[in-house]
Amino acid sequence: MDNNLSSVYLHIPKCGGSTLNSILRGNFKEENRFYVDPSNISNSRRRLAEWSDEEKRSIRLLHGHLSYGWHELLPQDATYFTVVRDPVSRVVSHYNYVRFRTDHSHYLRETVEEEDMSIAEYVTSGVCDEMNNGMVRLLAGVEDIVQEPYGDSVLPYGTNDPALLERALENIDNHFVFVGLQEHFDESLLLLRDELDVDTITYSRQNTGSRHYEKRYPDDVDREAIHEYNELDIELYRRVRTRFEEALDTLVLPNAQVAWLRLRNVVRKHYRNARTKVRNIRAP
């Protein structure tokens, strides 16, 4: 990777980003990273804007819940990468994360609980702009995530304007070195490794919580609502998936590489567990 070029990871919520962020932290020194605070995105933008050009030039990785356009805050050139997810799965995952996780305090949880929202009601209510073509909104650079219930957005809720999709696709074509798929996370890591020229891509999954909290699954009404409010995201995902499958053909022995990565992750997990047990035994 060009040492004069910064990388910008556009972390779309519920697309495997917490795990990818943990991998990136292992490959970029802390003094060369700027992380967008997920609890206060607007404050992170202000803080970065206040940095001197000299401080900004030290940033090799800008990452977090940001939208396209943050590169304009940097004096050096920058390229983007991201991971997308099937829109139905992403919306359902977002709902379950907000509604049922007990180990965090998401700003929407109280609203969703008090109104006892179903998945469809969560989508149609407008309480969260991310549920209306949330991937396209971020990739088009319309705005950062609105972090308050029924927050003010520059777009009317429910919009399916094709111009937004074209804008997002144009940004991907011109400014993104890679767009991966959450459903093919390991394959995405193998492709991204070559683009970023990073050393380590082994990982432990972060922020999944699948075994630790209740989940709801979508019925026909939920799916209909998700499709109605995410037409652009669905088309974006279809196009990105086609491109991804073409890129996957460039990997040498992809199945063998994926199997090797997964084996290394298993070994890493057992090693970390064993080390923790030994540490606990030695503790007074």
- Whether 64 has a pLDDT exceeding 60, the answer reads yes
Q: Angle 192-43-229 (CA atoms, 0-180°, nearest 5)?
A: 65
* Per-residue pLDDT at 118: 97
- pLDDT tens, residue by residue, 193-243: 888 888 777 776 665 554 556 789 999 999 999 999 999 999 999 999 999
Domain range list for the chain:
6-251, 254-284
- Whether 141 has a pLDDT exceeding 60, the answer reads yes
How many Å from the N-terminal Cα to the C-terminal Cα in the chain?
46
As a whole number of angstroms, the distance between CA 88 and CA 91 comes to 5
Mean pLDDT for the chain?
A: 89
* Per-residue pLDDT at 258: 79
Indicate the pairing of strand 176-181 with strand 78-84.
parallel
Which residues are within 8 A (CB) of 202 and not within 5 positions of it... i.e. 6 or more apart?
23, 261, 264, 265, 268
* Per-residue pLDDT at 132: 97
As a whole number of angstroms, the distance between CA 267 and CA 248 comes to 25
pTM, full prediction? 0.87
DSSP string, 25-72: HTTS-GGGEEE--TT-HHHHHHHHHHS-HHHHHT-SEEEES--TTGGG
Strand-pairing partners, residue 62, are: 8, 34
**CATH architecture assigned to 6-251:** 3-Layer(aba) Sandwich (3.40)
As a whole number of angstroms, the distance between CA 249 and CA 247 comes to 5
- At position 70, the amino acid (one-letter code) is W
At residue 80, what are phi and psi to the nearest 5 degrees?
-105, 160
- The backbone region for 196, taken as left when phi is positive above 0, alpha when psi lies in -120 to 50, beta otherwise, is alpha
Which residues are within 8 A (CB) of 105 and not within 5 positions of it... i.e. 6 or more apart?
none
- pLDDT tens, residue by residue, 90-134: 999 999 999 988 766 788 998 999 999 999 999 999 999 999 999
Q: Percent of the chain having pLDDT more than 70?
A: 88
- Whether 278 has a pLDDT exceeding 90, the answer reads no
* Per-residue pLDDT at 270: 57
* Per-residue pLDDT at 251: 78
Sign of the CA dihedral with 122 first, then 125, 128, and 132 last: positive
Between 271 and 175, the more confident residue is 175
Q: What is the mean pLDDT of residues 238-254?
A: 88
